[in-house]
A and B are shown apart, each in its own frame.
Chain A
């Protein structure tokens, strides 16, 4: 059966790699370009952010993605969202995707939360009417009170994330991508968010969750996917993958092999 007709399939990644070239300088400038040119150097460095990752995920599953900083977790999420096209391989996504990536909604801090929500929705291709309909739910869920109409530069980082989370989960996505959503929320909001995520999972939606918290991966995800330096180390039930990852952290990279498990 051709993959496109399999409605139970949510995401399929086939040998997906992302390599990008970047300059050494954090901020590229003419001066450094000229200096380099004079020396006959090329300052491009290849970064293999994700290498040859393949997996299939069905609708209704929740997949936790774990791994150290720089393992390619966020890059993988961005590829699933269609923000970064892969340099090799193929990604097939069945359904509407809603993202909550690490930067959240507020892309212009001098605008109010409300304006940012509207702008984000319009950029995502929603109509004004659709955004109006969602807006009340979002505002209610985020519990920002009067702050919703204040410039976002006045927000605390927790408020920022609350709004971002409220936007992402209230868009009725088929596939929800959440990247480190709850690190700054207070305990009360974390509970509420966890409940909402369980809700999302319960309604047969698909969720990818990137988190450094082993507990939230264990609680929310049946499956987990472990990335290390861009490569997929392991995929399986979240408890097992978590255990392997923890062992890896204990013994260190060199001494570790998957056969030890």
Chain B
């Protein structure tokens, strides 16, 4: 089925297959082929999303129902935990929705990416193609599941009396950083899943713990404060959690209209770049071995 390629540079008329040294494939042709087949990643994600809801009554509406139900569950949770003792329950809830939807985008990309390679095994066994398309397609799916949650968020934001501010536009920066970070992590976990099939079973717990360690249920500066009160001058430890800077910056801008400090911007970029580079390197240096491992 892989005849008549558009990317003749990647696979010209004459193909030579030789043993690969451990390490990366030639990056130039690899990324050209990747770019030329971006349609595949898009179509894979589109058809996957369509197929996921074909047997349900509400179909595509689930993309909106899911975040709504999630918000309701956590509203109840917050209402019970705060017990009316703290005054600002409404802001807490709006903050929680913004952070939670943002976090679920990340976890969706992570979990989709983890199963992307093993899930695409029959395609891998039948066709040579840049396999990086698989985790990237999972990130695209997660992104298009995230967009409807923004539609759910806006009425919540307004209903709880928060204005729309110009600072919200800046939050796009953290969205981009989270997307890059999620893509890198999807590559790492997609590869891990090939070698250890238990990864997918551990992942939900890992993700849940990560959620509680991230500033979703609490504010970023409160986290640092509490850490410093308990252990002394170690607030910087928070930045070791990549999601701390990303979710922190996102909710500061979206919910409170506060422009976060430079350390949040910097940490987010550093983590995003590190994840992309390491994830890409790990995935690409392993991907030619995937076929014998499936």
Which A residues fall within an 8 A CB radius of B? 4, 20, 22, 27-31, 33, 78-79, 81-101, 103-108, 110-111, 115, 118-128, 130, 151, 167-168, 171-174
Q: Given A119-B43, A124-B5, list of 16 further CB < 8 A pairs? A: A33-B196, A81-B127, A83-B125, A84-B291, A87-B19, A91-B16, A92-B14, A94-B14, A97-B3, A98-B1, A103-B126, A107-B123, A111-B47, A119-B47, A124-B3, A125-B37
Quote the shortest CB–CB distance from B45 to chain A (angstroms). Answer: 11
Q: Which chain A residues border B289 with CB–CB below 8 Å?
A: 20
Closest residue of chain B to A106 (Cβ to Cβ) is B122
Mask for B277-293, Cβ within 8 A of A = 1, else 0? Answer: 00000000000110111
Quote the shortest CB–CB distance from A108 to chain B (angstroms). Answer: 7
Q: Bound complex: CA of A76 vs CA of B7, how far in Å?
A: 24
Q: Is the CB–CB distance between B197 and A107 below 8 Å?
A: no
Quote the shortest CB–CB distance from B288 to chain A (angstroms). Answer: 6
Q: Is the CB–CB distance between A92 and B15 below 8 Å?
A: yes
Q: A30-B198, A92-B16, A96-B5 are in contact. Are A108 and B47 (CB under 8 A)?
A: yes
Q: How many residues belonging to B are interface residues under a CB distance threshold of 8 Å?
A: 49
Q: Which chain B residues border A98 with CB–CB below 8 Å?
A: 1-3
Q: Bound complex: CA of A20 vs CA of B4, how far in Å?
A: 30
Q: Which chain B residues border A100 with CB–CB below 8 Å?
A: 1
Q: Which chain A residues border B20 with CB–CB below 8 Å?
A: 85
Contact of A85 among B7, B121, B202, B288 (CB under 8 A): B288
Q: Which chain A residues border B129 with CB–CB below 8 Å?
A: 123-125
Mask for B253-294, Cβ within 8 A of A = 1, else 0? Answer: 000000000000000000000000000000000001101110
Q: Is the CB–CB distance between A28 and B1 below 8 Å?
A: no
Q: A27-B197, A123-B133, A167-B1 are in contact. Are A93 and B40 (CB under 8 A)?
A: no
5 A-B pairs with least C-beta separation: A124-B2, A122-B40, A125-B5, A171-B3, A107-B122
Q: Which chain B residues border A118 with CB–CB below 8 Å?
A: 43
Contact of A91 among B17, B51, B124 (CB under 8 A): B17
Q: A22-B292, A82-B11, A90-B16 are in contact. Are A105 and B5 (CB under 8 A)?
A: no
Q: Is the CB–CB distance between B1 and A83 below 8 Å?
A: no
Is B83 engaged at the interface, CB distance under 8 Å to the other chain?
A: no
Contact of A120 among B5, B16, B127, B292 (CB under 8 A): B127
Mask for B4-43, Cβ within 8 A of A = 1, else 0? Answer: 1111001101111111100000000000010011011001
Q: Bound complex: CA of A107 vs CA of B44, how far in Å?
A: 11
Closest residue of chain A to B42 (Cβ to Cβ) is A122
